[in-house]
Amino acid sequence: MRIIFNYLRRFVLTLFGVAGLVFVVIQDSAADAIEELGNGAYLYLNGQHRSLFIVSDAGVIVTDPINEKVAVAYRAAIASITDQPVRFVVYSHYHWDRVSGAAVFKQESAQIVAQKRCAERFRENPNPAVIAPDLTFTDSYTVTLGNRALELYYFGPSHGDCLTVFVAQPSNIMQITDVINPPGAAFPPDPLVPYIRPHNIQQFFAATAGLIDRLGIDEVAASAVFPAGDDATPISPPLAPASIVREQAKFWRLIDATVKRAAAERRVGIDGFVRLRDDEFAAFESYPGYRKEDLPLILRRFIGFHDMGR
């Protein structure tokens, strides 16, 4: 892909405490863009996806190549800002819609890194478009490249079985793919939430909040454009305050508490659906993406966990 044109535009996002972001358009569409976060950290935006990448003086660290078509455009976008080779590709989790396409970067001998449960998933449920990782880790790992690094942390099942929390250094910016997305805590886009692991979701958020405190992280990067919508929908910001993590954790605690209360009051049918009161619906109305008809579906997922541990 050849660059049609480049231009710079500054977004002053004072509402979210973010300023001075550079938005570089790679094609004649905001659907393919680079958002500069600072200190070598960038987001590559394609359609509704955002992938973090880091440019160092010794090469580039790429995350989540999405698919082969996007990866080709991703590589060209990186080439528009640096001639450094891509040395590492890091998978955030095992879902094919985020991690296919690494073959494009493997052609230049990039090493692929993933949490070890991701590697197990790829062996058990292979997809020819997904390249198996060269390096795996258990709890934490740091991909260091020249004067930059990407820290990787695993806190157990959350969004699937191997979701990895990214921290770009030295910018000290966190990204949690698909679980946290600026501008704020929100309703999950898929009300069936088949990917959520209820048994560990609260522990995951507690551990992530602890990491934020320990590292002094102030900002969290987006992994998508939210809310998803038509061309008239403004692009949501690439960064939000780190407080978004605790706000989203509060949402899942509220889901769990609603389920437990309904079960104690025998308001759960044999089909696993909760008979909700008006005040319980009202408790969720302030979350972006809320739809009244979706709430019982999300609760049913948690009823299944409390009834059968699944």
- Which structural domains are found in the chain, ordered by start? 8-308 (3.60.15.10)
Alpha helices for 136-277 (secondary structure H): 198-215, 243-264
Look up residue 44 and give its DSSP letter.
E
Strands 41-46 and 49-56: antiparallel
- How does pLDDT run across 53-92, given as a tens digit for each residue? 999 999 999 999 999 999 999 999 999 999 999 999 999 9
Residue 232's pLDDT is 53
> Are the C-beta atoms of residues 179 and 124 closer than 8 Å to each other?
no
How does residue 306 score in pLDDT terms, banded at 50, 70 and 90? confident
- How does pLDDT run across 196-209, given as a tens digit for each residue? 999 999 999 999 99
Q: What's the rounded Cα separation, in Å, for the pair 256 and 305? A: 10
Q: Which residues, listed in sequence order, are joined to residue 219 by a DSSP beta bridge?
A: 173, 241
Q: Which H or E run includes 304? A: helix 295-308
Q: What's the rounded Cα separation, in Å, for the pair 181 and 28? A: 25
Residue 20 has pLDDT above 50, yes or no: no
Q: Which residues, listed in sequence order, are joined to residue 137 by a DSSP beta bridge?
A: 115
Among 136, 132, 97, 135, which Cα is nearest to 117's? 136
Q: Compute CA distances 103 → 72, 106, 223, whole Å.
A: 10, 5, 21
